[in-house]
Structure 1
């Protein structure tokens, strides 16, 4: 069977999207399992035009093709936690994954949508499709503060992934089987997370955890934005002076399954959800039992 140039380009796009991008950084130093870099979307999701527009840059899907244009929630936020404690199997320098969220290009967002079915058995779905390595990775880096990690994964998928239109079953055509959209969402989120080593990005700028030192918020934000190439929102706890979260912003060219994540240079009208004070603490993690 002949293979078209478009199909080859689509495959290469999928392959390259799973490995660290030049200029964005690499998390190859992260311990733990490695996501298979040659992962292909289970879909048979459509081969999208290479010259299609980025999400948030058209008011409607291209030629009505909602399977090749993320809409209306076209700005994607890869969100990370700086947890207070070292998790089991974790490390003192490990940021963890909170989620991959679509917002409506202006900082607002929908939630618990019906573009894809909700799922209550994320672990079982991933393992059914052979992604045992991904489940191990998520148990190391995608962690819940309370209860089983799988509860957080279910919450993240049902709240956010169900609002990503390219994950709709219709975009998988006749080859769709239940759970394909679950695998595509979690593989893409984990792969993007691996390109964003927040700890070492800050360390390169002399910003390291310290029990008493305060850092200018502007310096922390500048370090992460220069590293990622796009806008970053920082969130803080305590009296708004304890660094807790980093939100990296992207547009997508194509579908979530096979498209290209492009660092977003703006936050949108209401997108600056940062709440940190001008000077912030970046506290060391504590081992269980430490005060």
Structure 2
């Protein structure tokens, strides 16, 4: 499907005239998963080229961010099914007023959650959200404005942030590690294999990317393929496409 500016404008005008709520195109090919088809045709129901979607999380300790018993949100990234990715795909939609957009859409509960669990290490949450949307969100082709019926300006922005939060809520990294006996400690260390096992179990048997800084665990990426669009589609856990940079043993998981 072509994503022309004229079609985007037409959809926006229709929405203003009718007053109808925006909806993403209904997808019928719900059994065709991204990265698992030979198709190279991006449509509103097929994520391409960014067919792998990664829900990414932080464990920030210097300075600490977010609750002491939870990881925090990094974002949702489209990956080209091979570890490479597109970025900053539409400068015209690189919005910087994310809080205003969510408030105008009546998504105040979502915004409140983000203020607790999607926080910037330097305290500038608004810039962090704008960065994640502009760099990654604009590259998810199945939430392009032309994929909406009765499109309302910036509707896809609210849908994107809601989806990231919904995925994050289903991936409680802190709890999964704790259940495996892996808890923050100033002295204890862990092996890569035991951390991976705990989070692979959480991720429906699919391996995850584990990131470390100076030998301390600080990132996890959960990879998915999607059938349908990125908002309403079916998410399938898949193995990481990126090799961990953590050591095989002696990994620190320091407290916030």
Change (3 A) 1:108 1:166: same
Match of 1:57 in 2: 36
Residue among 52, 57, 82 paired with 1:106: 82
Give a deviation string over 1:76-109, Cα, whole Å, max 9, x none.
Answer: 110111110544xx43211100011010000111
Once the two structures are TM-superposed, the CA of residue 260 in structure 1 deviates from its matched residue by 1.4
- Contiguous gaps of at least 5 residues in structure 2: 1-20
Give a deviation string over 1:235-281, Cα, whole Å, max 9, x none.
Answer: 0011xx100001011111100121111111x33xxx22421011101
- Equivalent residues of 1:82, 1:243 under 8 A apart: yes
Residue among 44, 69, 79 paired with 2:56: 79
Q: Secondary structure at the match of 1:100?
A: strand
Match of 1:36 in 2: none
Once the two structures are TM-superposed, the CA of residue 231 in structure 1 deviates from its matched residue by 2.3
Residue among 116, 119, 138 paired with 1:143: 119
Instruction: Establish whether residue 276 from structure 1 lines up as the match of residue 255 from structure 2.
Output: no
Match of 2:130 in 1: 154
Match of 2:236 in 1: 262
Once the two structures are TM-superposed, the CA of residue 195 in structure 1 deviates from its matched residue by 0.3
Give a deviation string over 1:143-186, Cα, whole Å, max 9, x none.
Answer: 0012420110000000001110011111013x112110101100
Match of 1:118 in 2: 94
- Contiguous gaps of at least 5 residues in structure 1: 1-41, 286-291
- Map 1:1-291 → 2, pairs under 5 A: 43-49=22-28, 51-60=30-39, 66-84=43-61, 85-87=63-65, 90-114=66-90, 117-173=93-149, 175-229=150-204, 230-238=206-214, 241-264=215-238, 266-267=239-240, 271-279=241-249, 280-285=251-256
TM-score, structure 2 normalization: 0.86
Q: Secondary structure at the match of 1:140?
A: helix
- Equivalent residues of 2:209, 2:243 under 8 A apart: yes
CA RMSD of aligned residues (A): 1.7
Once the two structures are TM-superposed, the CA of residue 115 in structure 1 deviates from its matched residue by 9.1
Q: Secondary structure at the match of 2:224?
A: strand
Give a deviation string over 1:111-149, Cα, whole Å, max 9, x none.
Answer: 001297221111111110000000000000000012420
Q: Secondary structure at the match of 1:255?
A: coil
Comparing 249-258 with 42-51, greater Cα deviation is found at: 42-51
